[in-house]
Amino acid sequence: MEFLEVIKKRHSVRSYKPDPVEQEKLAVILEAAMLAPTAANRQAFKVIVIDTNGRKEDLKKIYNPAWFGEAPLVLGVCAIPGGCWVRNDKKNYSDVDAAIVMDHIILAATDLGLGTCWIAAFNLEAAKELLGLDDTMEPVAFTPLGYAREITSSKARKSLDELVIYK
Ligand SMILES: Cc1cc2nc3c(=O)[nH]c(=O)nc-3n(C[C@H](O)[C@H](O)[C@H](O)COP(=O)(O)O)c2cc1C
C-alpha cells in the first residue's frame, strides 16, 4: 500500500473476527516495532504479545469492553522509563518513544489488512499484575490485533487551518 493510503485506511477497530493472525504478519509487525526510532536510540521498551485465548476475563480487568479481548492477539507497549533518554530539564521521553513504537505497530498492521485500536484508558495496576510486570516497566498503550468484523471509518478531523501555525 502507498504510505498515505495506509494512513488514510487506519482507523480504530472495535469489533473483531476470531480468525488467527498469521505468524508471518506478526513477524512483520514486530519488526516494524523494532525499527521504531527512540530518543538517543535507547530502545528502552518491550512489546508484550498476548494470546487472548482463554484470557478474556483477565483482559476485561485490564480494559473492560468485550471487544478488547475479541481479536486473537492484544499487543501492549511498555516503556522502561529508567532506561529512556531524559532532557536536561528532566523531561523523560519514555511516553514519546512508546507512542512511536505503537504507531509503527498500528500502521504496519493496517498495511497488512489487520485492525487495531489504540487503548490508553486501561487499568494500569491490573495490567501490571496480570502481565507480571515489575515496577521498571510501564505499560503505555495496548491494541487488539486481528481482522475487523466490519469496516467503519469516519475521519472527523479539525481543518488544517485549525491545526497548523505558520510563523
Ligand atoms: C493515545 C490514544 C489513546 C486512545 N485510547 C483509546 C481508548 O482507551 N479506547 C478507545 O476506544 N479508543 C482509544 N483511542 C482511539 C481514539 O478515540 C481514536 O483514534 C480517535 O477517535 C480517532 O478515530 P480513528 O482512530 O478511527 O481515526 C485512543 C487513541 C489514541 C491516539
Q: pLDDT tens, 17-33?
A: 999 999 999 999 999 99
Q: What is the residue-averaged pLDDT of the chain?
A: 97
Q: What is the pLDDT of residue 150?
A: 80
Per-residue confidence band for 155, with pLDDT thresholds at 50, 70 and 90: confident
Question: Residue 120's pLDDT band (boundaries 50, 70, 90)?
Answer: very high
Residue of the CA atom closest to atom 14 of ligand 1: 118
Give residue 156's domain range: 3-163
CA 148-10-93 angle, 5° bins: 120
Instruction: Give me the mean pLDDT over the 100-111 stretch.
Output: 98
DSSP conformation class of 116: B
- pLDDT per position as a tens digit, 123-139: 999 999 999 999 999 99
For residue 152, the domain's CATH number is 3.40.109.10
Q: What is the mean pLDDT of residues 67-92?
A: 98
The Cα 97–Cα 103 span in angstroms is 10
Strand partners, 115: 146
| In the predicted structure, residue 1 carries a pLDDT above the cut 90 | no
* Tally of structural domains, the chain: 1
Residue 38's pLDDT is: 98
Query: What is d(CA 11, CA 122) in angstroms, rounded to the nearest whole number?
Result: 19
With a cut of 80, say whether residue 151 has pLDDT above it: no
* Residue 69: how many other CB atoms lie within 10 Å: 22
Query: If you measure from the C-alpha of residue 167 to the centroid of ligand 1, how many angstroms do you get, rounded to a whole number?
Result: 30
Q: Give the pLDDT score at 154.
A: 78
What is the position in ligand 1's atom list of the atom closest to the CA of 153?
A: 26
- Measured from the Cα of 122, ligand 1's closest atom is 8
pLDDT in tens, 4-21: 999 999 999 999 999 999
Q: Measured from the CB, is residue 53 less than 6 Å from ligand 1? A: no
pLDDT beyond 90 at 84 = yes
